Structure 1
Amino acid sequence: MSENESRPVVVGVDGSPASKAALRWAVEDARRRGCPVDVISAWHPDYGVMIGPVPAEILLALSPQAMKETAQRNLDAAVQGFEGVEIRRILVEGDPRKALTKASEDAELLVVGSRGHSTVVEVLLGSVSSYCVHHAACPVVVIRGPKVEHEHTFVAAAAPVTPGPLL
């Protein structure tokens, strides 16, 4: 990056409501700063566990090329409608945590969304926002996603619930 070039506001997007809120916040902040926005979306093949025969359509959708094309379409859709600021779309293959912290090395600010997962989910999957807060090379802003009201459903038990084994 040259001396005359302004450092961007970097934002990570993944299509979630929290990342959309982070993108809106980042664009407004970059507009005030007069700098560009680097919108980063990371993708990587994750095949999980597949047992049994898999239909050809699913196998084609899981190809690296198809995953990359889908990620590019999602990135393009995410940045539609923003004006008044230079937006640079960056699609990266790899771990989003690593991609964002690498981009933070040349950034004015890093903005990420937080989905607000439970502690158990964050331990198992890891939190991108937490990782960025601890490893970024620039200041980090974490934007909470919109609060979602969870519906509570009650299932009637087929057998009576007891405090323990019946003697």
Structure 2
Amino acid sequence: MSENESRPVVVGVDGSPASREALRWAVNEARLRGCRVEAVSAWHMDYGMAIGSMSAEIALQLSPENRRAAQQAVLDGAVEEFTGVEISRVLVEGDPRTALTTASQDAQLLVVGSRGHGPIVEAIIGSVSSYCVHHATCPVVVVRAPKPVETETARDERITRIPAPLTPGPLL
């Protein structure tokens, strides 16, 4: 076994359509390379979101144990459909950017999904895929979420719909 065959293809998994597509791509690439996949999912507590009073039921749902269990379920659900390649599941508490770039140190390839929020949202909340491209220690593949398939009926409705006229503001 060569050194590259022993190093995994690492993929970020968060349950989004983009990460599911990235996992699919990573599994196919690992089959071609003859190596395993390391599916990495990160979770963290965002205590800044818990402002004000809340019920005990909601507080329990926000507990670290429940957040970890929920993210483990996302990771398990994402990888269960794939066979024919070894997939190790890695659940990390912390920032996804740090978890993925750390995992890239022992990887031959890092695969991440991109939700394609656009430059404004990415400037405000950051982009995991952009961070990984700039900080990973191995090559990075960014996979976009698949476009929804438009049915013929939906296309016809979109084409025939007459948009409302645009006005510069309230008419006085």
Interval containing the TM-score (normalised by the shorter chain) = 0.7 to 0.9
TM-score by length of structure 2 reads 0.83
C-alpha distance in structure 2 between counterparts of 1:115 and 1:143, whole Å: 9
C-alpha distance in structure 1 between counterparts of 2:101 and 2:52, whole Å: 38
Could you say which residue in structure 2 is the equivalent of 1:90?
Answer: 90
* 2:121 aligned counterpart, secondary structure: helix
Deviation at 1:146, TM superposition (A): 1.8
C-alpha distance in structure 2 between counterparts of 1:161 and 1:64, whole Å: 49
Could you say which residue in structure 1 is the equivalent of 2:54?
Answer: 54
Alignment check: 8 A CA contact 1:12 1:100 kept:
yes
C-alpha distance in structure 2 between counterparts of 1:73 and 1:57, whole Å: 20
Is there any run of 5+ residues in structure 1 with no aligned partner, and where?
A: none
Q: Runs of at least 4 residues of structure 1 off by over 6 A? A: none
Counterpart of 2:122, as a letter, is: E
Alignment check: 8 A CA contact 2:5 2:33 kept:
no
Alignment check: 8 A CA contact 1:47 1:62 kept:
no
Is there any run of 5+ residues in structure 2 with no aligned partner, and where?
A: 151-157
Deviation at 1:48, TM superposition (A): 3.0
* CA root-mean-square deviation: 2.5
Alignment check: 8 A CA contact 2:5 2:34 kept:
no
| Identity of matched residues, % | 66
Could you say which residue in structure 1 is the equivalent of 2:153?
Answer: none
TM-score by length of structure 1 reads 0.86
Greater share of residues in helix: 2
Deviation at 1:24, TM superposition (A): 0.1
C-alpha distance in structure 2 between counterparts of 1:92 and 1:123, whole Å: 25
Deviations 1:64-91 (A, max 9, x none): 0110011111110010111110000000
C-alpha distance in structure 1 between counterparts of 2:47 and 2:164, whole Å: 33
Counterpart of 2:32, as a letter, is: R
1:28 aligns with 2:28: yes
Matches within 5 A, 1:16-165: 16-147=16-147, 161-162=170-171
